[in-house]
Amino acid sequence: MRQLQNGRDLKPVLEDPYVVNRISPLEQRALLEEPEVVEAAGEEPLRELRAYLEALAQG
């Protein structure tokens, strides 16, 4: 949340090694449903990342 509030785009935040090493794509996908994330990131970037993360989670 802090990164988004500081103006960083959502995709680079989720691709950050700190995030990648700590939560799975499925857990990242769940974060995209959190109201605070939705508000901070906006709908269009979320829609794109949801599709991307679902594809990763399915293999």
Q: Which DSSP string do the residues of 18-52 spell out, in sequence order?
A: HHHTTS-HHHHHHHTTSHHHHHHH-HHHHHHHHHH
pTM to 2 decimal places: 0.69
| pLDDT range class, residue 1, cuts 50, 70, 90 | confident
Contact between residue 1 and residue 35 where contact means Cβ atoms under 8 Å apart: no
pLDDT by residue (tens digit) across 12-39?
988 899 999 999 888 988 888 888 888 8
Residue matched to tokens 């802090």: 2
